[in-house]
Copies of this chain bind each other. A is one copy, B any other.
Amino acid sequence: MNPKPLRADTERTVRAILEAAERVLSANPAAPMEQIAEAAGVARTTVHRRFASREALISALGAWAAQRFHEAVEAARPDTAPPTVALYQATVNVLRVKIGWGFAMGALPSDAPEVARVHDDVRAQCERLFVRLQDAGEIPTNADLDWLRRVYYALIHEAALEAPEGDAAIDALATRVIDTLLHGIGASQNS
């Protein structure tokens, strides 16, 4: 997909800029390019060299996050692994990405068709997984799958705000999300 492999130099710079953009813009979506450059430890002109315009940077940020999102779901093998396992693994993986790239994933008006395509793909995978969960008897067959998916996204979004560090904490978070999704507030599940 990349006809010309980037120089090691360049790649480091691009990554630094994207990470800085996530950090700065999540605090203030209207932050000027200069703040992003400063946070990335580069000159403002360098940002403009890598990303022609502010819009291009935002767009690239969205595409980058969408890619990580897609990888996170793929890694859970939602179409082949046992559905309850896949749901748990996908939750953990997506939580990780969302904690680090929350702005780029959520508060971004991504009008890019390429990004929309990835999100549609993930949505389709999510819905297939829910159907598999229904077949396994984990979800009632009369459940509204669209509402289910929206609640699932919303719970992940909410949980990611806690932004814990350790693996154990993220496991606990994922467990809580799935518990709440399937059984609502109340006693934790004893499976």
Interface residues of chain A, those whose CB is within 8 Å of chain B, are 28-30, 107, 109, 139-140, 142-143, 147-148, 150-151, 154-155, 157-158, 176, 180-188
Q: Is A148 in contact with B185, judged by CB distance below 8 angstroms?
A: yes
| Copy total for this chain | 2
Q: Is B182 in contact with A143, judged by CB distance below 8 angstroms?
A: no
Contacting residues, chain B, for A155 (C-beta < 8 A): 151, 154
Q: Which residue of chain B has its CB nearest to the CB of A133?
A: B185
Q: What is the CA–CA distance of A147 and B179 in the complex, to the nearest angstrom?
A: 12
Q: Is A184 in contact with B183, judged by CB distance below 8 angstroms?
A: yes
Contacting residues, chain B, for A140 (C-beta < 8 A): 185-187
Q: Is B176 in contact with A182, judged by CB distance below 8 angstroms?
A: no
A176 smallest CB distance to B (angstroms): 7
Contacting residues, chain B, for A180 (C-beta < 8 A): 147, 151, 184
Contacting residues, chain B, for A158 (C-beta < 8 A): 150-151, 154
Q: What is the CA–CA distance of A158 and B143 in the complex, to the nearest angstrom?
A: 17
Q: What is the CA–CA distance of A139 and B30 in the complex, to the nearest angstrom?
A: 42
From known contacts A147-B176, A154-B157, A154-B158, infer whether A185 and B186 are also in contact, taking CB-CB under 8 Å. Answer: no
Contacting residues, chain B, for A186 (C-beta < 8 A): 139-140, 143, 182-183
Name the one of B154, B157, B183 contacting A183, with C-beta atoms under 8 angstroms. B183
**Beyond A143-B185, A150-B158, A183-B183, 16 extra complex contacts between A and B, CB < 8 Å:** A29-B29, A29-B30, A107-B107, A139-B186, A140-B185, A140-B186, A142-B188, A147-B176, A147-B185, A151-B158, A154-B155, A180-B184, A181-B185, A182-B186, A183-B184, A183-B186
